[in-house]
Amino acid sequence: MLLRLPTGLHYPITVTSLLKQPGDTIEKDGALFWYTYQTTVTEGDGLGNNIEVKRRFPARFESTIDGEIVKWQIQKGDVIDEPVNVVEIDEPCAHEIQFGGLCAECGKDMTESTYNTEITDSMRAPISMAHDNLTLTVSKGEAARVEEDAKRRLLASRRLTLVVDLDQTIIHATVDPTVGEWREDKQNPNHEAVRDVRQFQLIDDGPGMRGCWYYIKLRPGLEEFLQNVAEIYELHIYTMGTRAYAQHIVDIIDPTRKLFGDRILSRDESGSLTVKDLQRLFPVDTKMVVIIDDRGDIWRWSPNLIKVSPYDFFVGIGDINSSFLPKKEDIGANKPQIEAKAPEQTNEHHVNGKTQEGAQVSALEQLVTMGGGDSPRLLQEQTDAQEETILHQVEDRPLLQKQKELEAEDNLAETNEVSSSIEETHESAKPRHHLLEDHDQELFQLQNRLEQVHSQFYDEYDKRRTLALGGRVAALGGRVAALRGEKVYSRDKDVDLKLVPDVKDIMPQIKRRILGGVVLVFSGVLPLGIDFQNADISLWAKSFGVTISSRVNARTTHLVAGRNRTAKVREATRYPNIKIVTTQWLVDALVQWRHVDEEPYLLPLHPDDRGEPLTPSELELETSMLSSADEDVTGPQWTQEDDAEDIFKSFGLDDTSPIGYDADEQAAVHDELKDFLGSDDESESDNESLLDEPSIGGKKRKRNEDTESGTDEEESGDDDGDDHDKQGSRLSQRIKRSYERNTKLREITSAPATGSDQASPDRPQTSAVEGESDSETPGTSSAPKADYPDPDDDDDELEREMLAAFEGGGYDPHAEADPAAEDG
C-alpha cells in the first residue's frame, strides 16, 4: 500500500532524515521520517512588544498502518509542496472483507482510531454486496473480483441476471379480511377468482403489532414463467417490502429455493426508502443485468429496465408497500376497462399510501421524498405510515364496500325493469356481481421480451468473440477441434469479459426499432403544471424512440388524447397523416413491445371537432418551414438549458455574477458603437464632415419649408448633396445612383398631386412612377427633384441623430417629428 501525506501539514516541508529502511517493520503510529517546516509565530521583543517572526520547526511523520517497508518514494533533502506518496508498505492484511466492524480475515477492530487517524479502516471496505446483510462489506477491489467471477459463471452457462420486483409485478397482495371470507363462501360470485389466493400471517406486523393476515394472488402463469426464465437468467428479488414479507412470498413462489436461493433484497437492506439502485447489488458492473418492475420512476428509468403493466387483481388496493414512495402518476390508461365494470372506482377509498382521494400530501411523504437512506427516524416514520395503510384495509374493508356498491347498482337496475317481490328481494340480498376477475396475460408477453433481450445479447457476444479469435477461419478451427474432442484454449483468459456487450446498449436498440420515428403530442392526458417531457409516460415512451412535442404540426404522427373536444384534437384533424388515438394505444405499444395497429384505438371525434383539412401545398410549405431549431422536441439537439452553464463558464461567469453593465462598461459600449457608426471603408472623414458641416444636417427642415412656400430653393440643397456624395458612404452612393438612373418611360399621364407633393406652379408638372425616379428631360440636370427625398440626406440625418443621442444622451422629439411630417 502506498502511504500518502495528509493535507493538513504545513507545506512546504523539508525531509531531514529517513528513520526506516526497506525491509524494516513499522507499526501503526510509528515514526517514519523527520522533516522541518516554516511558519509564522508571535514573539516578544524584550521591550514588551509582540512581533511576528518566521521560525522553522522539526516534526516527525508517523505511519497510519502496520507492515513492512518496501520502497521509499522520497529521499533526504526533498522539499515537498503538496500531498504525495512517500513510502510503499506491505501490509500483512489489507482488511478487504469486513463483518460487523471487524476484519473477516485478521479479526482486527476496524473502528479503532487514534490522534493520528484521519480515515478509519472501516472505509477500506465500504461496499455492501450481500442481499441479506448490511454488516458484511468489501473493498472496491474485492467487489470487482466477485463480479468478475459472477460474470464468468454466467457466461459459461449463457445466462444473464434478472432483478425481479414483487408487488404488482408478479403478485398482488392485500390485507382486507373480506378476501378470506370470500374464499370460504362458495356461494359468493368472487369465490372462483380468490380460490387460489395464498395467505400467511406476520406475527409482529399490523396495527398494534397484533399480527396481520396477508392474502397473495399470483399473477397468471407465474410458475411456468419463473421456470422458463430461470434457464436463461439468474433470478434476484428486489422489493420495498420488509424482509419477513419477502421471505414469506418466496416460500410461496419458490418453496425449494431453486429459483431465487437467498438472493433477496428488501427495504430493510436497500439503503433507501424512495428509490431502487442497481449499485446496491452490482456496484461495479451492470452490463448483464435486466430489471422487471411495474414502476420506472423508482429506478430513475434505468436503461436496464423492462417496465411491466401493473397487476391490479384486488380492485383499488394498489401496492400495499408503497405508502412511503412518491405517488404514482395516473395517466388514465386502464380506466375505460375498469370503469365499464365498476363505475364507482372514482369514489373509492385509496389505501396505497393515501387516506382519501384528493387528500393533501402528508408531511411523512414530503420528508421521505426529500430524504432517503437508512435513517432510523425515517424508518420509524415509514413503519408508522405502513401500519396506517394496513389499518385502513383491515378496518375499512374496501373490497367489501365496493361489492356492496355494485350490488346496489344491480338492485337499482333490476327495480327499474321489473317490479320487486319478496322472493326477488331475498335473492338480491346475495351478491351477484363479480368484482374480481383475472384475465391478465402480461407474463406470457414478458417472457418473450426477456428471451429477445437474451438472444440479442449473446448474438452480439458471439459475434465479438468470433472477431476476436481471428475471424471465421479461427472459429471454424475451434469447431473442428471441439468435434475431435480436443480442448480449445483462449489466447487471453479475460477475453470474454473484455468483449461482453452491455444490456444498456442492447435494450435501447431493440426498443427504438419499435416506435422510432413516432412524433406524438399529448392532449388531455397529463395534469396541468406537469412537465410533459419528464412525466413517467413521456420518459417511458422516449426509451422506445418516441419524440414528444408540445404542438401539432406537419411532423406530428400521433395525437394521444385523453378526451375529445380539445383544441389540439381540432387542430390535428386538419392533418391527414396524424392518427388521433387514445392513451391505451401508447400503453399497449410500450407494454407489448410492438407498434400496435391504431385502428381499434382511434378516438371518436365530435363532428364539430373536424377542422378544414390543409391542402397539399400548405402541408408542403409548413414542412419546408419546420426545422429542428424551431421544434421543442427531445433528442440529441442543442438547447439553451443544456449549454447555459457552458456558456456562462466560457465568459468567466457563474451563478453569482452580476447581470447587466456597470458605468464603465456602459461607457465602453457607447464608445465602441460610436466608433462603429463613424467608421467607413471608403473614408474615415465621414464623422468629421458631418460635424463640420451643420448645413447638411439641416437640409431636411429647409426642404420642408421650401416645399410649403412653393419655392425652388432646394436646388441648391441638391448641389450640396452632390458635393457631399463624394464623401458619403457606399450605401448612400448606391441608393443615389438608383435614383439617378434614366427611365425609359418618357410620356406618362400622372395623377394630380395633393398636399405638399403638389407641383409648384412655376414649373411644369412631372410624371411619377412608383418605385422609380422622375424621368429626365434632355438638357436637364440628373439630380433628383423635390418630389423625392434625397436618400443621401436620410442617411446623413440618421447618422447625425444617432451620434447626437450617444454623445449628448438626450432625446430630441423634433428629430423624429420633422421626418414624420415630411413623409405625411
Q: Is 346 exposed, middle or buried (0-12, 13-18, 19+ CB in 10 A)?
A: exposed
Q: What angle do CA 700, 706, 710 make, to 5 degrees?
A: 145
Q: What is the 3-state secondary structure (H, E, C) of 596-657?
A: CCCHHHECCCCHHHCCCCCCHHHHHHHHHHCCCCCCCCCCCCCCHHHHHHHHHHHCCCCCCC
Out of 165, 536, 609, 790, the active site residue is 165
- Of 569, 555, 563, nearest in space to 610 by CA: 569
Please enumerate, as own/partner, the contacts of 368-377 that have beta carbons within 8 Å and a separation of 24 or more: 368/273, 368/274, 368/324, 369/274, 369/326, 371/273, 371/274, 372/272, 372/273, 372/274, 372/275, 373/271, 373/272, 373/273, 374/134, 374/271, 374/272
Cβ atoms of residues 5 and 49 within 8 Å: no
Beta strands in 311-363 (DSSP E): none
Q: Is 327 exposed, middle or buried (0-12, 13-18, 19+ CB in 10 A)?
A: middle
Q: Is 632 a catalytic residue?
A: no
Out of 167, 254, 293, 792, the active site residue is 167
Q: What is the 3-state secondary structure (H, E, C) of 349-392?
A: CCCCCCCCCCCCCCHHHHHHHHCCCCCHHHHHHHHHHHHHHHHH
Amino acid letter, residue 16: T
Q: What are the grid coordinates assigned to 33, written together?
A: 521520517
Is-cis flag, bond preceding 12, omega within 30? yes
Q: What are the grid coordinates assigned to 491, written together?
A: 489466447
DSSP 109: B
Cβ atoms of residues 521 and 556 within 8 Å: yes
Q: Helix count (H) and strand count (E) of the chain?
A: 28, 24
Distance CA 668, CA 648 (A): 21
In sequence order, the 6+-apart residues with CB closer than 8 A to the CB of 61 are: 5, 31, 32, 33, 34, 35, 86
Query: 3-class SS at 50?
Result: strand
- The H or E element containing residue 149 is helix 140-156
How does DSSP assign 406-436, residue by residue? HHHHHHHHHHHHS---HHHHHHHTS--S---
Q: What are the grid coordinates assigned to 628, written together?
A: 429542428
DSSP 167: B
- Of 590, 316, 593, nearest in space to 451 by CA: 593
Amino acid letter, residue 669: V
Q: Is 692 a catalytic residue?
A: no
Q: What are the grid coordinates assigned to 46, written together?
A: 524584550
Distance CA 498, CA 464 (A): 10
Query: 3-class SS at 35?
Result: strand
Q: What is the 3-state secondary structure (H, E, C) of 799-820?
A: HHHHHHHHHHCCCCHHHHHHHH
Distance CA 414, CA 425 (A): 10
CA distances from 77 to 17, 35, 55, 269, 511 (A): 8, 9, 18, 52, 64
As beta bridge partners, residue 489 has none
Residues carrying an active site annotation: 165, 167
